[in-house]
């Protein structure tokens, strides 16, 4: 199959589907610039999207890969996780090669965003789909005169069959802030993070990749320029 990009209605929202080699696909919504689906060549959906997700912009879409910006969580005066995940984005660029499909969406400040946060900006999210992997790149440009600070995250919801079977490797020895335990700072001493209770952790200064094992599923996770790793489950 030759890689391609097409528009479609997905759960009654305007979206684009990237079709990769050997049947891989990814769907990204123009609402929030949010990846909603990633299917690998084996036909397996790798992202969780809630059946109760709302697609009218009144609340954030629950699932997929929300873009949290310019604020992560409630760590500031803005709405939780910022405002771009409920705003419309535009297509900025797209292209396909022999073994990949690539799409860039963008959002800029407007009257509504400046009422919440008085800064000029341009935010771009680039999604590249290859055979058995996706790459996401978030680019922030200050288009005004005044400097600004921001926090952000690509809040990925990964689909697993049984959460108790999950083992996340690669975080041994790192300190994390445990929001499920009064924000205590703890050093991870286990060989893998297991999910047998509520987890809401921010691991600091993580430089090595992670490996998610869940039954017969194996998924590698790697990031650059995002020094923290959030591990959370909707327990």
Q: Do residue 108 and residue 33 come from a single domain?
A: yes
Tell me the two tokens of residue 47.
């992202």
CA–CA gap between residue 235 and residue 226 (Å, rounded): 25
Q: Do residue 7 and residue 101 come from a single domain?
A: yes
| Span 148-165, pLDDT tens digits | 999 999 999 999 999 999
Q: Do residue 33 and residue 118 come from a single domain?
A: yes
| Span 176-193, pLDDT tens digits | 999 999 999 999 999 999
Among the three residues 159, 186, 208, which one is the final residue of a domain in this structure?
159
Q: Do residue 10 and residue 126 come from a single domain?
A: yes
Give DSSP secondary structure letters for 103-144.
Answer: EEEEEE--HHHHHHS---EEEEEEEEE-SS-EEEEEEEEE-S
Tell me the two tokens of residue 98.
């022999």
Burial 194-232 (b: 16+ CB within 10 A, else e): ebeeebbbbbeebeeebebebeebebeeeeeeeebbbbe
CATH code at position 103: 2.70.98.10
Res 234 pLDDT > 80: no
Look up the domain containing 230 and give its range.
161-235
Among the three residues 159, 193, 217, which one is the final residue of a domain in this structure?
159
Among the three residues 137, 159, 181, which one is the final residue of a domain in this structure?
159
Looking at the structure of the chain, the number of domains it has is 2
Tell me the two tokens of residue 59.
């609340």
Q: Do residue 125 and residue 183 come from a single domain?
A: no
Q: What is the pLDDT of residue 215?
A: 87
Q: Do residue 83 and residue 106 come from a single domain?
A: yes
Q: Do residue 153 and residue 185 come from a single domain?
A: no
Model confidence band, residue 91 (pLDDT cutoffs 50, 70, 90): very high
CA–CA gap between residue 3 and residue 185 (Å, rounded): 45
Looking at the chain, the whole-number percentage of residues with pLDDT higher than 90 is 94
Q: Do residue 222 and residue 106 come from a single domain?
A: no
Q: Do residue 27 and residue 120 come from a single domain?
A: yes
Q: Do residue 93 and residue 17 come from a single domain?
A: yes
- Residue count (the chain): 235
| Span 198-219, pLDDT tens digits | 999 999 999 999 999 998 889 9
pLDDT (average), residues 78-99: 98
Q: Do residue 24 and residue 54 come from a single domain?
A: yes
Q: Do residue 121 and residue 186 come from a single domain?
A: no
């Amino acid at each position: 199959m030759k890689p391609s990009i097409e528009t479609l209605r997905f759960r009654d929202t305007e979206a684009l589907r990237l079709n990769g080699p050997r049947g891989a696909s990814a769907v990204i919504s123009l609402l929030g610039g949010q990846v909603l689906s990633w299917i690998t060549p084996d036909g397996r959906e790798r992202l969780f999207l809630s059946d109760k997700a709302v697609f009218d912009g009144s609340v954030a879409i629950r699932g997929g890969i929300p873009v949290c910006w310019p604020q992560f969580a409630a760590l500031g005066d803005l709405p939780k996780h910022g405002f771009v995940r409920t705003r419309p984005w535009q297509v900025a660029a797209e292209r396909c090669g022999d073994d990949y499909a690539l799409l860039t969406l963008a959002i800029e400040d407007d009257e509504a965003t400046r009422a919440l946060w008085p800064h000029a900006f341009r935010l771009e999210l680039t999604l590249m789909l290859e055979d058995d992997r996706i790459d996401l790149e978030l680019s922030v440009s200050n288009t005004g005169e005044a400097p600004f600070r921001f926090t952000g995250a690509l809040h990925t919801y990964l689909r697993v069959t049984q959460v108790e079977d999950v083992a996340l490797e690669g975080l041994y020895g790192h300190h994390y802030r445990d929001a499920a335990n009064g924000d205590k700072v703890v050093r991870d001493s286990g060989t893998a993070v297991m999910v047998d209770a509520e987890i809401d952790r921010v691991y600091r200064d993580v430089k090595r990749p992670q490996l998610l094992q869940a039954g017969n599923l194996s998924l590698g996770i790697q990031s650059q320029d995002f020094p923290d790793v959030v591990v959370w489950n909707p327990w």
